[in-house]
């Protein structure tokens, strides 16, 4: 059921009070609300805030990525 309050916390509570599953808009907004509550940033800080990556760190990053890709290939094969 879709209500005028859908997409709000009140809309979610109305679904729950009626024994319904939340509509997609209420569920999406609840997911956003929970993510915000966890402190997940909406946007990364500007690039200037990150220190430069050394060639050694870049190599470690490439190695870690390659290992993760190999592991993923093993799991999906």
Cβ–Cβ under 8 Å, residues 12 and 29: yes
Q: Select from 41, 1, 39, 38 the least CA-distant residue to 18.
A: 1
Instruction: Kindly state whether residue 52 falls inside one of the protein's structural domains.
Output: no
Structural element, H or E, at residue 2: none
Which three-class secondary structure state does DSSP give residue 8?
coil
Q: Report how far residue 18's alpha carbon sits from residue 66's, in angstroms, rounded to the nearest whole number.
A: 50
- Domain count across the chain: 1
Instruction: Kindly state whether residue 9 falls inside one of the protein's structural domains.
Output: yes
Instruction: Kindly state whether residue 55 falls inside one of the protein's structural domains.
Output: no
Which three-class secondary structure state does DSSP give residue 22?
coil
Residue 27 lies in domain: 1-41
Render each residue's pLDDT in the chain as its tens digit; 77 residues: 788 889 888 998 999 999 999 999 999 988 888 877 777 666 776 777 778 899 999 999 999 999 999 999 998 87
Instruction: Kindly state whether residue 34 falls inside one of the protein's structural domains.
Output: yes
């Amino acid at each position: 059921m879709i209500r005028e309050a859908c997409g709000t916390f009140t809309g979610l509570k109305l679904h729950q009070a009626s024994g319904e599953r939340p509509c997609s808009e209420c569920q999406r907004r609840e997911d956003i609300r929970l993510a915000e509550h966890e402190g997940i940033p909406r946007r990364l800080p500007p690039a200037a805030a990150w220190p430069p990556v050394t060639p050694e760190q870049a190599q470690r990053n490439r190695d870690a990525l390659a290992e993760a890709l190999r592991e993923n290939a093993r799991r999906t094969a």
